A = this chain, B = another copy of it.
Amino acid sequence: MEDGILKHYVGIDVGGTNVKFGMFSSEGELEKKWAIKTDSGDEGRRMWRQISDSVRKNVSANRLAGIGIGIPGPVLENGFVEVCVNLGLHNFNPVAILRENFPAVRVSAANDANMAALGEQWKGSGRGFKTLGMITLGTGVGGGIILDGKIVYGANGLSGEFGHIQFNPDETENCTCGGRGCINQIASATGIARYAKKMLRNDPGNSALRAVKNLNAKDVIDAAKRGDVLAESTLRFCMDYLAKGIAAISYVVDPEVFVIGGGVSNAGDYLIRMIQKCYDPYITLSKKKAKVIKASLGNDAGIFGAARLAMQEEEEDEGREH
């Protein structure tokens, strides 16, 4: 690419319902944002065609310098994906596929939660920190580790799958992963609602939650905020398991900060303070505790991270050339 022409980087976030796109300047400004429906039929062929067409339609070919893409499943550092359960796809490499369609462009891929972690570190609330652990609390518990500004991929794509650390020996049901006692079963939106229902069955105490139909995590959090004792003790139980997991991350890579994202994090400061309070006592070896903060990019974290990864690959290539 010639000097003088403004470069664009495209960050793509593949989800089960939508594929989100962001076009970024070299300075990291999000200049345009759009989405298409996810159509993973025909073994993904339609989706890859639609993604490529959508990039071509929205970004001038002579300005396109890099594409990063986040996939909802384990991604190896070379881009290979063994299985992506959400999309029903197996044994594919988004880097290889997109390079075929964009031969002149750098392409890189990573797990979507790892991308979100990189996005938060680049332009979100993790800005200014070189190392961070991101935890996404949604339907499940996921996340990613950023060390020295870079995604930790791991050898088998497991890095950042904190949700499947098995902390609860008393669990009687199986996790979606087949394990038992995973943090995912307790601290996710699903887990919070499940534990509240358990508490309502086992605890005879009064609670506003008894009147709620189709109880969900937001109901529990809202009631806890209003001082409902049963709701608060449920939430504290769930966040204490999350805190055990965050402490485990500290004892492995010891990040400066933990960024909490995902739908459950919309509960805001109340929840963030609760997590910090549960976390601190588990860190017995140091008086300095990592700070727990709320993510700030919301659903855009993935496209930010994907664009950033594309830029990093270019910076590294240029480093090697010089």
Contacts and interface: CB of A to CB of B under 8 A. Distances in A.
B282 A157 contact: no
A57 interface: no
Given A169-B169, A247-B165, A247-B166, A286 B252 contact: no
B156 A252 contact: no
A276 interface: no
A158 B283 contact: yes
Interface residues of A, number: 46
Contacts of A160: 251-252
Interface stretch (A15-23, A118-126, A171-179, A301-309): A171-179
Interface stretch (A147-155, A198-206, A261-269): A147-155
B248 A248 contact: yes
Contact of A253 (B175, B178, B252): B252
B284 A253 contact: no
Contacts of A152: 147, 253-254
Given A282-B179, A284-B177, A155 B255 contact: yes
Interface string A132-167: 000000000000010100001111111111111111
A253 B154 contact: yes
A249 B165 CA distance: 9
B253 A159 contact: yes
Contact of A256 (B155, B178, B256, B283): B155
A74 B284 CA distance: 13
A130 to B, nearest CB: 9
A250 interface: yes
Nearest to A256: B155
A131 B157 CA distance: 13
Contacts of A284: 164, 175, 177-179
A5 interface: no
Contacts of A272: none
Nearest to A288: B156
Decide if the interface of chain A is mainly helix, strand, loop or mixed.
loop
A168 to B, nearest CB: 8
A135 to B, nearest CB: 11
Contacts of A167: 167
A249 B247 contact: no
B161 A251 contact: yes
B282 A145 contact: no
A43 to B, nearest CB: 21
A179 to B, nearest CB: 4
Nearest to A322: B322
A290 interface: yes
21 contacts: A152-B253, A153-B254, A154-B255, A156-B250, A156-B288, A156-B290, A157-B254, A159-B253, A159-B254, A161-B251, A161-B285, A162-B252, A163-B251, A164-B285, A165-B244, A165-B251, A166-B247, A179-B282, A179-B284, A248-B248, A252-B253
Interface of A: 74, 82, 131, 145, 147, 152-167, 169-170, 175, 177-179, 244-245, 247-256, 282-286, 288, 290
